[in-house]
C-alpha cells in the first residue's frame, strides 16, 4: 500500500483507470465518533497480490479504518474506490459482492454449526439466495446449494482442512477457528481480504502455518490488508507496512523502513 497519487481520484471519488491503478484506493478518509477524530485523512493504495500491514499503538484508528474499507463503518468524509469505481456509499454486503471481504470472529451462532455448514452458509450467501429465490426458484436454489457444496470441498481441500469438516465451531482450536474465518471469506472469492488481528488466539506453533496460508492467497493475486499487533507476523507477511498514529498515516514503507522511523518509535513509546 502506498500513499495515494493526489491526481488519481477526482472530487466525485472516480478514479482514472490506468495500468498503475490500485485495486483498492482511499482518499482522505475521516471517521469521527462524536468529538473524536478516530481516522483523520487516510489516503492509501493497495495493489492486487500485495499484503499490506496496518500497525500502530492502541487507539491509533486501525480497526476503524479497516471497517471503512469493508463498509462496516461509514466515513465522515473521504472516498474509497475498488478497481477505479467509487464504493464509498455502498453497504458491506454490496462491497462483498464486488470483492471486498472481511474476516469476522466466529460468534456463538457459528459454534453450533459444523465447519462444513459454516462454509456453506457463507457460500450460499454469495450467489444471492434471497428469500424470494428460495421460495420462488427452488430448482435454482438447489443448483446454488450444489455448487456451494462443491466449493466448500474445494476450499477445505485447498487448506488441508477436510478433517475438521464435521467438527462444530465450539470444538475447534483457536487456530482452526481463524482458519475457518478465512475459509468463509474464500467462499466469496474475494479480490481484497481484510483481516483484523488474524493471529489472536492462535497457538505459536500454528502461526507459521496460517502465515503460509495467507502468503499463498497473496501469491494468487488476492490483496490482503491486515491489522496485526504481532509485529513478527507483519514483518514476515507484509510487503508494505503503514503505521497509524492518532488517526493519521505517520509512516509507510517496508517493515524494516518503518521500524527505524523516528515518528514510529515515538508513537509506540509515547
Ligand atoms: N464505536 C466507537 N465509539 C466511540 N469511540 C470509538 C469507537 N470505536 C473506536 N473509538 C475510538 O476511536 C479511536 C480509535 O479506535 P480504534 O479501535 O479504531 O483504534 P485501533 O488502532 O484499532 O486500536 P486497538 O489497537 O487498541 O484495537 C480510539 O480513541 C477509540 O476509543
How far CA 43 is from CA of 2, 18, 25, in Å, comes to 8, 18, 7
Residue from 5, 23, 11, 61 nearest 221 by CA: 23
Mapped onto helix, strand or coil, the DSSP state of residue 18 is: coil
What pLDDT, on the 0 to 100 scale, is given for residue 39?
A: 98
For 72-102, write each residue's pLDDT tens digit: 999 999 999 999 999 999 999 999 999 999 9
The tally of domains found in the chain comes to: 2
Q: Same domain, yes or no, for 92 and 36?
A: yes
Which residue range forms the structural domain that includes residue 39? Answer: 1-99+192-270
Give me the pLDDT at residue 140, please.
Answer: 73
Per-residue pLDDT of the chain (270 residues; tens, 9 = 90+): 544 443 344 444 444 444 456 999 999 999 999 989 999 999 999 999 999 999 999 999 999 999 999 999 999 999 999 999 999 999 999 999 999 999 977 666 788 899 999 999 887 654 444 555 555 667 777 787 888 899 999 999 999 999 999 999 999 998 899 899 999 999 989 999 999 999 988 888 889 989 999 999 999 999 999 999 999 999 999 999 999 999 999 999 999 999 999 999 998 877
- Could you tell me if the CB of 39 is within 6 A of ligand 1? no
Could you tell which of 60, 65, 248 is best to mutate to test the pocket of ligand 1, judged by most ligand atoms within 8 Å of the CB? Answer: 60
Residues 205 and 267 in one domain: yes
Is residue 82 within 8 A of residue 24, CB to CB? The reply is yes
Ligand 1 proximity of 64 Cβ (cutoff 6 Å): yes
Among residues 173, 189, 205, the one where a domain terminates is: 189
Structure-block grid coordinates of residue 179: 482458519
- ipTM of this predicted structure: 0.96
Q: Are residues 4 and 47 in the same domain?
A: yes
d(CA 62, ligand 1 centre) in Å: 8
Distances (CA, A) of 57 to 22, 228, 255: 27, 11, 15
Kindly state whether residues 164 and 41 are assigned to the same domain. Answer: no
Mean pLDDT, the chain, rounded, equals: 87
The residue among 189, 214, 236 that closes a domain is 189
Assess whether 125 and 138 both reside in one domain.
yes
Strand order in the sheet with 192-196: 100-102, 192-196, 223-227, 51-55, 240-245, 248-253
Amino acid at each position: 500500500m502506498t500513499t495515494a497519487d493526489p491526481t488519481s481520484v477526482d472530487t466525485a471519488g472516480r478514479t482514472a483507470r490506468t495500468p498503475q491503478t490500485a485495486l483498492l484506493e482511499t482518499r482522505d478518509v475521516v471517521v469521527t465518533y462524536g468529538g473524536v477524530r478516530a481516522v483523520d485523512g487516510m489516503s492509501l493504495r493497495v495493489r492486487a497480490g500485495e499484503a499490506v500491514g496496518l500497525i500502530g499503538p492502541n487507539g491509533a484508528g486501525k480497526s476503524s479504518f479497516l471497517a471503512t474499507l469493508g463498509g462496516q463503518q461509514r466515513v465522515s468524509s473521504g472516498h474509497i474506490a475498488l478497481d477505479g469505481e467509487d464504493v464509498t456509499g455502498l453497504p458491506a454486503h454490496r462491497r462483498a459482492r464486488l470483492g471486498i471481504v472481511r474476516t469476522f470472529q466466529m460468534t456463538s451462532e457459528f459454534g453450533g454449526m459444523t465447519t462444513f455448514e459454516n462454509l456453506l452458509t457463507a457460500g450460499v450467501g454469495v450467489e444471492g439466495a434471497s428469500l424470494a429465490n428460495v421460495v420462488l426458484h427452488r430448482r435454482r436454489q438447489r443448483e446454488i446449494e450444489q455448487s456451494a457444496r462443491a466449493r466448500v470441498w474445494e476450499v477445505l481441500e485447498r487448506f488441508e482442512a477436510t478433517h475438521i469438516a464435521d467438527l462444530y465451531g465450539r470444538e475447534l482450536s483457536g487456530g482452526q477457528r481463524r482458519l475457518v474465518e478465512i475459509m468463509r471469506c474464500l467462499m466469496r472469492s474475494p479480490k481484497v481480504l481484510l483481516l483484523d488481528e488474524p493471529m489472536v488466539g492462535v497457538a505459536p506453533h500454528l502461526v507459521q502455518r496460517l502465515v503460509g496460508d495467507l502468503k499463498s492467497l497473496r501469491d494468487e493475486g488476492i490483496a490482503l490488508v491486515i491489522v496485526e499487533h504481532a509485529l513478527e507476523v507483519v514483518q514476515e507477511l507484509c510487503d508494505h507496512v503503514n503505521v497509524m498514529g492518532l488517526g493519521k498515516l505517520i509512516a509507510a514503507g517496508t517493515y524494516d523502513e518503518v521500524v527505524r522511523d523516528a515518528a514510529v518509535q515515538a508513537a509506540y513509546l509515547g
